[in-house]
A and B are shown apart, each in its own frame.
Chain A
């Protein structure tokens, strides 16, 4: 009987903790969003974040997208050959990249790179009282630190995804035409034949959602850090894991919304 009560107690505490976290994170997202529309607008901070999240991620996104496109083409060709549908590889690469792999893989990569950096930076500021110092200087820490990162995430992820889509399709083209013997003209026509604008826009909408998630979650985890270096480490890991989980979960719901 005691064991059951203890278990219920622990389980209950865990649920309450989870609900508190969700609530607090939700509040941070809400405030970060409304401060977008309130002056002062601190464009310098915003551009710095856009450079950090967007421009800084281009090399890793380039590599990820290239090899993703290449392996898609290879897998697609060898798989479809089983039922003589290898002519559809171009189409499949284009649709997969624009609808799913472009936004999702870009989101996961940027979560690991920029998300971790944001959580580490804000976490370090938290444990060294810099966030409190901001507040004592009559500056709202959410408006100063979170909102620029939030906007930067929402704006730069779709841009990175456009880049990713293009490079991925190019990688698929390279493999198909140069290694697998596809006809270049036919392959290009297949790439665009069944590709619709809504595939691309849908992918970009997802990317914007993922960008907001990465920024919001990473900033939240940074703000919660406590206990010195270990706390900052925990915040950074937590930021990446939670961002990536939420990206994958929200991916389903946004897709269902788009297809519904």
Chain B
């Protein structure tokens, strides 16, 4: 279970999070939507402990992250898998070395055992035969899928997705959406996805939460959000430039 309680965070004079409250039950898939630069990625970073709140608490599976030392936090991260916006593959390592990175570092598996798992994870994301390619040789969609394979290689309990479809063409976006949806079902993971792609949100989510001006405006099922009476939410999900949300 993931919980953010009254989290405040500012960077210099920019108050990004102003009392964010989120609760994600085990096995639930939540999507946080919101405009660009509104702090959605910052929420993700708090959950995995890359950023610490100015005030408030981040509680994962009953553990308050503030109570952990750096070493304990690093160890705690083994229960997570994270897909970064640009995939963040290690460009000096091949595809299989990327996907098997966690296994190599944290298990006693031999190279051929790791290779087997890598091939299996690649197949899960619909890729075959690219184990020895380098990240620079891959297209954007392939990078994302390799990034996803890396995120699930250690069979994590919690998966975080940072704008998984941003920068991809509509067909590849749908492929990724299907993968995430399928992943959540078959692996029974708790997941949090950050996106401003509404099509993606509706497909993946059990619940959707909208982040606006540093706070969670509303939480609901995709149907509830689509039928929300809140003009801010309606403006966002309909993609209209007219409305209470001002673009500076």
**How large, as a class, is the contact surface on chain A?**
10 to 19
Complex contact A138–B84 (CB within 8 A): no
Whether the Cβ atoms of B48 and A128 lie closer than 8 Å is no
Cβ of A43 within 8 Å of any chain B Cβ, yes or no, is no
Contact A137–B77 (Cβ < 8 Å): yes
In the complex where A130-B88, A130-B90, A132-B84 touch, is A137 in contact with B50 (Cβ < 8 A)? Answer: no
Q: How many Å from the CB of A173 to the closest CB on chain B?
A: 42
Q: How far is the CA of A143 from the CA of B101 in the complex (A)?
A: 15
**What range describes how many residues of B lie at the interface?**
20 to 34
Contact B85 A129 (CB under 8 A): yes
Contact (Cβ within 8 A) A135 B88: no
A133 touches B77 (CB 8 A): no
Say whether A185 faces chain B, with CB atoms less than 8 Å apart. no
B112 beta carbon closer than 8 Å to chain A: no
Q: Distance in Å from the Cβ of B14 to the closest Cβ of chain A?
A: 15
Q: Interface centre among A125, A129, A134, by most B CB within 10 Å?
A: A129
Binary flags per residue of A123-164, CB closer than 8 Å to B gives 1, else 0: 011001110111111111000000000000000000000000
Contacts of B82 in A (CB 8 A): 133, 136
Q: Are B50 and A135 in contact (CB under 8 A)?
A: yes
Residues in B with CB closer than 8 Å to A132 are: 45, 50, 84, 88
Instruction: Chain A residues near B105: list those with CB within 8 A.
Output: 40, 137-139
Q: B78 to A133, Cβ gap below 8 A? A: no
A133 touches which one: B70, B74, B88 (CB < 8 A)? B88
Q: Is B80 an interface residue (CB 8 A)?
A: yes
- B74 closest partner in A (C-beta): A138
Are B74 and A135 in contact, CB atoms less than 8 angstroms apart?
yes
* B184 nearest CB across to chain A (Å): 19
Tell me which residues across on chain B come within 8 A of A124, comparing CB atoms. 91
Residues of B within 8 A of A40 (CB): 105
Asked if B106 is an interface residue, CB under 8 A from chain A, the answer is: yes
Distance between A48 CB and nearest chain B CB, rounded to angstroms: 9
Known A-B contacts A129-B85, A133-B84; A138 and B75 likewise in contact (beta carbons under 8 Å)? yes
Q: Considering the chains assembled together, what is the distance between the CA atoms of A124 and B135 in angstroms?
A: 14
Assess A130 versus B78: contact at CB under 8 Å? Given A137-B102, A137-B105, A138-B102.
no
Asked if B86 CB lies within 8 Å of chain A CBs, one says yes
Complex alpha-carbon distance, A129 and B88, angstroms:
5
CB closest residue in chain B, given A48: B92
Give, as a whole number of angstroms, the nearest-CB distance from B168 to chain A.
17
Name A76-129 residues within 8 Å CB distance of B.
124-125, 128-129
Contact indicator per residue, chain B 45-69, by CB within 8 Å of chain A (1) or not (0): 1001010000000000000000000
CB within 8 Å for A138 and B88 given contacts A40-B105, A132-B50:
no
Q: Is the CB of B77 within 8 A of A138?
A: yes
A132 to B81, CA, bound (A): 12
Evaluate whether A138 and B91 lie within 8 angstroms (CB atoms) in the complex, with A128-B86, A129-B84 already known.
no
| B85 touching A133, Cβ below 8 Å | no
A140 adjacent to B88 (CB under 8 Å): no
Interface contact B74-A140, CB-CB below 8 Å: yes
Spell out A's residues near B (CB within 8 Å): 40, 124-125, 128-130, 132-140
Q: What are 19 A-B residue pairs whose CB atoms fall within 8 Å in the complex?
A: A125-B90, A125-B91, A128-B86, A128-B88, A129-B86, A130-B89, A130-B90, A132-B50, A132-B84, A133-B88, A134-B90, A135-B74, A135-B77, A136-B80, A137-B150, A138-B75, A138-B77, A138-B105, A139-B101
- Considering the complex of A and B, which 7 residue pairs feature the smallest CB-CB distances, nearest first? A133-B88, A129-B88, A136-B82, A138-B77, A137-B102, A138-B78, A129-B84
